[in-house]
Each structure stands twice: as structure tokens, then as C-alpha cells.
Amino acid sequence: MRVLSAITCILLFLPVNCFSAKLIVTVPSGITEVEILSPGTLAVLDHLRGRLHSQLKAVNDHYQVRRIEAEVKNLSLKVTESDKAYNEKIDALRKQYIARVPITIHSASAQINSESALGEITFFFTARNNSDRIISDIIYKPLVGNTPLPITTMLVLELMNPKTLISGLAPGESLSNQGSDPEKLSFFLGELKDKDINRIKGAMPNGFSIDVTDIHFVSQKGYKGQTKIMDVKEAFAETLKAYQSASQQARDEYRVKSEDLIKAKTLYEKDTIGAIDDFRFRSNDLKKSSVRYKVAVDPIKNRADIESIGPGNYFIYAPATPGKSIFEQITVGDGKNKLKIEKLKKDPFEP
């Protein structure tokens, strides 16, 4: 800091004398004024820039934003992996128990009338529970000759005894609606092409099948509404507990670390802006104190004529577009000196 103060004082109090040397500077269009700065300007700028870099490094080392970003990324992957393991376990249990409850379609009939907007299929089935849980119902999609029927709502096949109206199919039990009312489903004919309708008609009565997509459970058999129907997550909560805990823990860790990252970024940006503002303040003071000569540029000739300049080393400076400027070192000798500048450089007084 003492070095900077000493150099700045020297720049401020260097005497300005009248000399016979003349400097003619041709500059790119758009430049309105040219300044001649003291030869020590660059040394002070280098000092200020080194100070800025040191401050920015200290800020970066303190807040460790990149390290925390990497940790957040790793925790995000951990959340994805734990969620995947959790969902895969749920899907595996679902498929396992669907496979243990085979549904046999005994017969089916279709009522398809071209004058009607709806088609209807009725069928008889038998379900057998080969699992160790009480099954409440299954969710299914209907197919006729491998052609999916256009039904957007979820179809539920309730496993309810048609005679006693008791819901739930216990392990080892079978349930059939034969001898009772058939299961019915309706679908919109307008959503099927004529060839699909003909395929459905041709595939009946033996081409009807169902694709089971989900399954539900109850803790005990009973009348509808008396017992809670559970999905796979609820029915196997204990089995899934470890997977769910791992998933929740990963999410909690990700949330905490994400909050740490937000705080670190906020403080990092604040201190970074502070360091940059400090550089701008000091470099602006340096620029003001470094000016030895200043002259307007002839807008027609794009030329600045500087009379009575003392021979020696200088820097020619002129701001142009934001962040760009003329900054050229020049040695001025006795008599007339000419310099043509065509290219702009990064403004050294900007961070």
C-alpha cells in the first residue's frame, strides 16, 4: 500500500513544463479525446491488478463455490439413484404380485353397433390368489386381438364375491363371476378405425384379454368400504422402509447443501463485486492523477495534436467502446513525433 501511495504521489506532483516537442496522434473514428499518461502508470496498474487477483483468489478460496457445486451435483445424482432404487423395488413388488394372481378369461362377447357411439364387452373370469397377501382389486387394460381398446379411464376389476359381496381374495382362494352377472366395459367406437373395429369383431369371442398394470391390497376381507385399500407402497411399507429412508435422506442432504450453495454464491458475488469496485475506484483515481497532457481529437481528421510536450516515455490513453481503449506506450523525442493507432485494446483501467 505504501508503494502505491508513493507512486501515486510522484505521479501527482511531477511538474509539467513547456517543451519544443510535438506529438501528432491519429486514432480510430469515434475517439473524442486523447490523454498522455505518466510512464509509471502501468506499474501502478499492475500493482492494482495483482491486488485485485489476490483479493478474488482469497474470496474464491474462502467460499469454495466450485467445491460446493460439485457436492450438490453428486448429491443430485445420489437422489436420482436412491429414487430409482426405491421405484424399481416398488415396480418389482408390483410385477411379482401381479404374476401371482393369474386372471383366466372364460368367455367374452362384444356388442358393436355402427349406429351407436359406444361398444360394449362383457366377460366372465376367474382369479386365483397364489400370493401371501389379500388382494383387493387389479387395474387392467383391455385388449381384443392385441388391439388396445380406446379407454382413457382406469379399469378396476374388483375381487368381490358376487354372492356374499365380501371384498378381498385371500391367499390360496379363487374367485369367479361365472353364474353371476358378467363384468362389463364400454368404449368409444369413434376413436377406432374401421379396420380395427373389424379386427375386434373377427377376434371375438376368444380374442379378448386383459393386461394387468397394477394391484391393490387390503389387510382383511370385508364389505366394501370397511377396510382400507392399499397400493404397493402402503402394503409393503416395512419392506420399502430402507429404500424410502435412503431416498429421503438423499433429498434432505441435497436440500441442505443446495441452501449452502445459495448462501455461498450470494456472499461470493457480494465480495467479488466489492473487490472489483475497489479496483475501479483506485484505478480511476490513478487515471486522474496520471494525466500529463489532454487534448481533443479533430473529428474530421481523427487526429490529436499535442504541442509543447516534454521528451520522454509516456502512455497514450483514450477510452472507446465499453471495455476497450487506446493504451499505447510511446517515446517522444525532440521535434515532431507521429503515431497512428488503428487497433483498440482492453481498457487497462477496467478489471
The pLDDT value recorded for residue 265 is: 97
Write down the CATH superfamily of domain 12-64+277-346: Immunoglobulins (2.60.40.10)
Residue 345 CA: distances (Å) to CA of 87, 293, 317, 322, 349: 58, 21, 10, 11, 11
User: 58-97: buried (b, 16+ CB within 10 Å) or exposed (e) per residue?
Assistant: ebeeebebeebeebbeebeebbeebeeebeebbeebbeeb
Q: Tell me the torsion sign for CA atoms 290, 291, 292, 298.
A: positive
Domain boundaries of the chain, sorted by first residue: 12-64+277-346, 100-235
Low-confidence stretches of the chain (pLDDT < 70) are 1-18, 114
The pLDDT value recorded for residue 18 is: 55
The pLDDT value recorded for residue 291 is: 96
What's the chain's Rg over C-alpha atoms? 42
Residue 156 CA: distances (Å) to CA of 102, 138, 170, 197, 270: 15, 6, 18, 24, 59
For residue range 287-327, list pLDDT tens digits in order.
999 999 999 999 999 999 998 899 999 999 999 988 999 99
Q: Any bridge partners for residue 199, and if so which?
A: none
The pLDDT value recorded for residue 5 is: 52
Residue with cell 487506446: 326
Mean of per-residue pLDDT scores for the chain: 91
pTM of the model: 0.71
> Would you list the DSSP string of 102-165?
-EEEEEEEEEE-TTSSEEEEEEEEEEE--SSSEEEEEEEEEEETTEEP---SPEEEE-B-TTT-
Q: What is the DSSP letter of 182?
A: P
